[in-house]
Amino acid sequence: MRCSNAVDCQRFLRGSLLVLLLQLVVACAQKPVGQLELMPPPDVYGDGLFNPLPKSNPFLDIPYDGILYATDREPAGPDDEELFYRNERGQVLRLGYAEIQMGEGDLTWEQARQVSLLKARTAEFPVKIGKVTEWGIVGETIPYWVDAGLPEEAPLPPDAVDQFAQAINDQLANSDSKDIYLYTHGYLVTFVNPLLVSAELWHFLGYRGAFIAYAWPSTPHRLAYIKDSDTAVGYARNLRLLLEVLAEKTNAEEIHIIGYSNGTRLVVQALEQLALINQHRTEEEIQETLRIGNVILLGSDIDRAAFGNSLADGLLKVCRHLSVYVSAEDKALGISRFLTNKRRLGELWTGDGNEIHPQARQALENLRGQMSFINVTEAEGATDGNGHHYFRQSPWASSDILMTLYYGLEPEQRGLVRQTDLPVYTFPPDYISRLWGNIQRLNPDWAEGDQAPSE
């Protein structure tokens, strides 16, 4: 194409790069609908170091035999191509659960337990979604201008929240961990993607606590990035209301949140809303009420300055600790930066105009006990492909994330080291041996290969 002027050339280039961004970020959507190939096992579980999975089939004890979900997508109709829920914004937040299957149907649990932890699998190990059951809606999410019955829809059972909370409490009663884990996805995926990713993360957590997949209405269509970015921010109210419900109605000791890519906008916005609503209260009062523990932001596609404003509004008063994973080789965020002309939170500070501002450096030093930045660039496998999916593709990054959730370990306790040039933690060459040594010190009577002990 020959551009008639500089403006036309710039528009054409931005449009071309938006298509490229779509190609860079998409991964799971290309898998068969309703299933996902299980991510590589975290290296901390490799080579027989230890096996986090229960020795008996956990689905025999899980009250709802699957994974919990919350979604504000529109339900799919009989003539829709999508499974279960459409790729469109809904008016309310809906709660339910989906049945999941780990591996092929003819595998015994013991076989699935062992094969899923093999570093080099010789056969596919799919994670599949089966039947989906919706319990109902969160009444508080119905906007005041919408009819309580919802257009063309019969009123849903009013006890959906209580049913959801009871399912969580029953699961927590069966588990050594009394925590809730919540995952929210990036853009360009269908309803089933966050359920599948949540299922594999919960698998590698050993089915501890209760896990919730949060499926906001992203749009797996070409040029959906701008629309999905608006949705991620605008629909944060529903996530905030869900967090309030979980704090009020469940017995969870802590609620941990894992946000990925564009979904980190949703997480940060919801936490900022909670901070503003509770600004008259102390940090101790807020955390005692909401019980939000670790918040983990992965490949975060947020404007750095906008994130700074969220911090100024008291975001860190809401959670016990915030971990931000960053990379110097995240190509998807590089395209996003070009499209927005703003540096992204998930990008590592480097040179060439991307140096950290002295005030930002000092602020990060002052907030070390509340917030950690973790550089995955040197982590095994973290820069493969487009470098954006490291939380699933890097056995070191997944080890670090899961051990943060499993034990609540701080960065140094996980074997990370402080960079000399930045207020950031990084992965040393002997990271896994450091991590494993620290875990052994926590469990001196723990035999190798044993299931992780109760805390």
> Is the pLDDT confidence value at 381 over 60?
yes
Residue 404 DSSP code: H
Look up the pTM and report it: 0.90
3-state secondary structure of 15: helix
> Is the pLDDT confidence value at 23 over 90?
no
Q: What is the mean pLDDT of residues 94-106?
A: 91
pLDDT tens-digit profile of 244-296? 999 999 999 999 999 999 999 999 999 999 999 999 999 999 999 999 999 99
Q: Are 210 and 284 in contact (CB under 8 A)?
A: no
Q: Are 257 and 295 in contact (CB under 8 A)?
A: yes
| Least trusted range by pLDDT, from 43-52, 234-243, 421-430 | 43-52
Rounded to 10 deg, the angle between the 236-249 and 160-174 helix axes is 60
> Is the pLDDT confidence value at 31 over 80?
no
The residues that bridge with 71 in the sheet, in sequence order, are: 94, 215
Torsion over CA: 114, 115, 118, 122 (sign): positive
pLDDT of 373: 97
Distance CA 252, CA 133 (A): 23
> Is the pLDDT confidence value at 24 over 70?
no
Q: Are 26 and 188 in contact (CB under 8 A)?
A: yes
Q: Which amino acid is at 340?
A: T
